[in-house]
Amino acid sequence: MLIKKLGEFGLIERFKKSIKTDLSVIKGSGDDCAVLKLDKSNYQLFTCDMLVEDVDFTLKDNPYLVGRKAVAVSISDIASCSGEPRYCVISLGLPKNTKIGFLDKLFEGMSDICREYKVNIVGGDLSGNNRIVIDVSMLGVVEKKHLTLRSGAKPGDIIFVTGSFGGSLAGKHLKFTPRLKEARNLARGFRINAMIDVSDGLTQDLSHILKQSKVGAVIYEDLIPKSKEAVGLNDVLSSGEEFELLFTISRPQARKLFKNPEYKPIGEIMKIGYGFKLVNSNGREINIRPKGFTHF
């Protein structure tokens, strides 16, 4: 069998079956971050992300923004667990003919965003490769009482998002702001049941919450905030690379959040038998087949 037949998520599930962890691991593979024991009040968060030339960026892109994105995607993972990023290591695979000026700009982007979010670069690795590959591994910390995962959504929860969707490849995927401040404010002021950052597409990432939480959902086309660069509904639902937060919260908690324009309700969590549906602008209910970016 070839991996293109198994697919990205099928391959992940195949690997997960053979992974064994000890009691120091609170949550392993299957969420935005691994969650590890740390101390009486806090958990350690651990995540990694890889950017590959001609997959996640091109040599025509501004290298400063490419470097910034390489770190920002991991900060976004930490944010989706309501944590604070602390340390990262950065590994680079580089062709021999890579220009030093390109690398200087790349590292400047990395350094600036680390400084902005108070992340310490503490090491890394270099290797020769036929294309540029950037791998960032990041450690963070979260208070036990604030930890948010994909698995806590409950029927009756309201589904909220930050930001807008669609058209991310027009430039946002290199310039997005990790929603760390918003995640921390939510954690301190509300009881968030489940949360994820939208990296692979709105419906695909929401489906991860539905699977982990064993629930269904309905979302409303007219409520989904659409980017001015979006090209049709399919782009809004599946483009990915927005790195916005998507979270669920109980209806009583949601009433306090409706007044805040930073967070927009787009639907409701339902019982698992309901499935996953979209109510379009004509009021018609449509079954959703989650779509988004996959590597294979």
Which residue, among 122, 125, 129, 135, has the nearest Cα to 67 in the 3D structure?
135
pLDDT, residue 166, reads 96
Tell me: do 33 and 131 sit in the same domain.
Answer: yes
DSSP 291: -
For helices 63-80 and 100-116, what crossing angle results, to 10°?
Answer: 30
Name the 3-class secondary structure at 197.
strand
| Cβ proximity of 44 and 139 under 8 Å | yes
Work out how many domains the chain is built from and give that number: 2
The per-residue pLDDT for 15 is 78
Sequence letter at residue 52: V
pLDDT at 102: 97
Same domain, 223 and 136: no
Alpha carbon separation from 226 to 164, 167, 266, 275 (Å, rounded): 5, 9, 11, 24
pLDDT of residue 10: 77
**Same-domain status, 273 and 154:** yes
Interatomic CA distance for residues 186 and 167, integer angstroms: 26
Residue 240 lies in a domain: yes
CATH number for 191: 3.90.650.10
Low-confidence ranges of the chain (pLDDT < 70): 292-296
Q: Which residues pair with 276 in a beta bridge?
A: 217
Domain that residue 155 falls in: 148-287
Does 158 share its domain with 189?
A: yes
CATH number of the domain bearing residue 62: 3.30.1330.10
